[in-house]
Structure 1
């Protein structure tokens, strides 16, 4: 019987477990997590067959998946190198940075153990074992890092995770860290900095943060991410992030000078260039990168309006990722932003809500 050991049963880990269980119901899955409640939930809902303390369960596994923060992954790889493991075991991780992880895996590889660095480029606003879902990674890119692992090992890992329906992409650790540093790590730093600066700016204003909606909420949404996870990511990819921060600060300095000098041409060019590049983004041009799909509707400003909508969607088994009240004014309808993981869910919701006489303002 094939045995899978996974450490870390949060959003990513539990989603992988659900996908593995869906594709390989006969596989034995051993879980490990520091949170007792998480372990109890995983056992109760049959996500895993057994729970073990720390890495003990890894000794009998055919696959070992490390789905914890990067600093913990590094510690576990070093510990695994000193443990008796199956000779043909495949070890992988889902960490957000790869160069330090690959370095930590060298002692393991020197013992002849196969290690494949991995990173699924997907997530959710929700966290924890209860938020996991088998289709979380559908159509997302899943990076596999080029190592000395034999080709069959890559194929075995892909077969194990077949139900995730990801798009596999082989890449070097260096290229990976540069790429995610720019499109993921830097934006998280910027979003958090903007929220902190805005909070400080409005420290003496009772209306300031209450009025922050629409564009501000959209651009800072990722600032709600797990601080523990992002502290680990920034420390593990520090050199690259510092370089990218310096370049970003340089861009801010340029536009600051243009504003000071009232340089209309430079200011216009700043926004025109950004618009041109941003408009080229999208699933059709980037190979179905995962995205969120928003629906904006008018709702009456009265008690129970939002509950009626969410209950209607739940009854029809339409899953919401997030919900925002963008604007509520006395005696005027509110604007409700509904966010979906899949476009098909948004289309179903739009049709259903339109039939119930809700007014759809726009789709993003």
Structure 2
């Protein structure tokens, strides 16, 4: 009987467990988490067969999955290098940066232990063991770091996680950190900086932040992420992120100078270039990246308008992950943004709402 040891029973860890259960119901799963309530929930709902007290109990495992913040993963790899592990054990992680993690795994690899750096590009606005879902990663890219690891080990890990239905992508640690730095880490910094700057700008205007809705809330949504997690991410990818911040500041400086000099052509080019690049994003271009799928619909300024829509979706068992009123004023229609985790949910919702005479303004 294969034994899977997983440390970290949050959203990602518990979702991986659920997927493993589907594909390998006879495997024994041992879990550990700093939160005792998470372990109790996982036991009660049969996500794990046994709750461990510490990393020492990983010595019996055929697979070890580290699903904690990067800083903890690094410490755990150092501890695992001191343990007597199974000869053919496969150790992997789900950390969002890879170069520092790979460095920490070197002592393990020198002992002949297989380590595969991993990173599933998926998430949710919900957190914790109760938020886990077996289909959380469906159609998302799952990065595996390309090292001297034998191909068979990659295959075994992919077979373990087959029910996640991810798109595997082999990548170097440096390329991974550059990529996620630009498309994930930098946007989180920008969103947070914009919220902080806006808060300071409206410090003497109690109405200011209350009026910050619509596009502002949409582009700063990710600023609501866990501060502790993002502090650890930036510290583990600092050199790359600093350089990307410099390039972004240069871009802002360029458009600032164009505005100061009233350079219409450069200002137009700035927006045109961004629009053309943004319009080319999508699964038909580079494959399905994990994302949220939105519908924007008209709603009347009437009591019960939103409740009618959410009830309609609930009756058809469509999972709605977020709802946001972009604009609604007295005596005019408003715009309601409905957010879905999966594209098929958005398509089904669009069909149902259209049949019920709702006007779809756009989708993204």
Aligned to 1:297: 297
Aligned to 1:141: 141
Is the 1:283–1:290 contact (alpha carbons within 8 Å) kept by the matching residues of 2? no
Say whether residues 1:125 and 2:125 are aligned partners.
yes
Matches within 5 A, 1:347-358: 347-358=347-358
Give the SS at the match of 2:339. Answer: strand
Q: Report how far residue 352 of structure 1 moved.
A: 2.1
Q: Report how far residue 360 of structure 1 moved.
A: 2.7
- Aligned residues: CA RMSD: 1.5
Is the 2:215–2:326 contact (alpha carbons within 8 Å) kept by the matching residues of 1? no
Q: Report how far residue 335 of structure 1 moved.
A: 2.3
Deviates more, 1:184-193 or 1:328-337: 328-337
Matches within 5 A, 1:243-282: 243-282=243-282
Matches within 5 A, 1:285-364: 285-364=285-364
Deviates more, 1:125-134 or 1:115-124: 125-134
Is the 2:320–2:339 contact (alpha carbons within 8 Å) kept by the matching residues of 1? yes
Q: CA, structure 1 residues 56+311, in 2 after alignment: closer, same or farther (shift >3 Å)? A: farther
Q: Report how far residue 218 of structure 1 moved.
A: 1.7
Aligned to 1:177: 177
Aligned to 2:190: 190
Deviates more, 1:204-213 or 1:299-308: 299-308
Deviates more, 1:186-195 or 1:341-350: 341-350
Structure 2 length-normalised TM: 0.96
Q: Report how far residue 278 of structure 1 moved.
A: 1.4
Q: Structure 1: any 5+ residue segments left out of the alignment?
A: none
CA–CA distance in 2 between the matches of 1:310 and 1:44?
Answer: 31
CA–CA distance in 2 between the matches of 1:262 and 1:343?
Answer: 42
CA–CA distance in 1 between the matches of 2:335 and 2:163?
Answer: 37
Is the 2:91–2:114 contact (alpha carbons within 8 Å) kept by the matching residues of 1? yes
Deviates more, 1:334-343 or 1:187-196: 334-343
Aligned residue pairs total 364
Q: Report how far residue 309 of structure 1 moved.
A: 2.7
Deviation sequence 1:135-186 (CA, Å, 0-9, x none): 1111111111112211100000000011111111111111111111111111
CA–CA distance in 2 between the matches of 1:362 and 1:182?
Answer: 27
Give the SS at the match of 1:285. Answer: helix
Is the 2:301–2:330 contact (alpha carbons within 8 Å) kept by the matching residues of 1? yes
Q: CA, structure 1 residues 44+309, in 2 after alignment: closer, same or farther (shift >3 Å)? A: farther
Give the SS at the match of 2:285. Answer: coil
Deviates more, 1:148-157 or 1:298-307: 298-307
Give the SS at the match of 2:220. Answer: helix
Structure 1 length-normalised TM: 0.96
CA–CA distance in 2 between the matches of 1:302 and 1:202?
Answer: 31
Aligned to 1:154: 154
Q: Report how far residue 66 of structure 1 moved.
A: 0.4
